[in-house]
Amino acid sequence: MVAKCTNYRKLKQEWPNNVYLARSKIQGLGLFAKRDIEMNAMVIEYIGEVIRNEVAERREKRYQERNRGVYMFRLDSDWVIDATMAGGPARYINHSCDPNCIAERIDLDREARIVIMSCRPICKGEELTYDYQFDFEDDTSKLPCLCSAPNCRKWMN
């Protein structure tokens, strides 16, 4: 745990040197590697407002009614990070069925945080992706996957 705390503090200072926003071939904007990133490196933190699940459900409905993109990350069954209105660049990481990153929860100073970790070496200029792992929903609510990976599941949920 000490190593993760030290790495996290280092990440907070270095993440602007790790990533940049650009047009994505997957969808909209994406987050890209500004430098080569080694495997198992902390790349960036997913930040936003930490809210209760019930509040997140209401907000998601309101965002969708206003045709606004929704950027939320579930911490657990009770808490969600809402990055829609106030969040960092990690909210622009697109989904892929063959990701180069994973999202990992760490607990630091009694607060849960989500850090994006590389799960393989990433080349400078490569788009960062992770598997959103959405819960399965009925066929009427399926979200098409646009990742174009050779192993694409065609749906994100």
Q: Are the C-beta atoms of 101 and 156 separated by less than 8 Å?
A: no
Same domain, 109 and 77: no
- Expressed as residue numbers, the domain containing 65 is 48-87
What is the rounded distance in angstroms from the CA atom of residue 75 to the CA atom of residue 81?
Answer: 7
pTM: 0.86
The string of pLDDT tens digits covering residues 61-111 is 999 999 888 899 999 999 999 999 988 999 999 999 999 999 999 888 888
- Residue 140 makes CB contacts below 8 A (sequence gap 6+) with none
Domain count of the fold of the chain: 2
Q: Which helix (H) or strand (E) holds 13?
A: helix 2-18
CB 122 within 8 A of CB 98: no
User: Residue 10: its pLDDT value, please?
Assistant: 66
In a domain, 93, yes or no: no
Residue 123 resides in a domain: yes
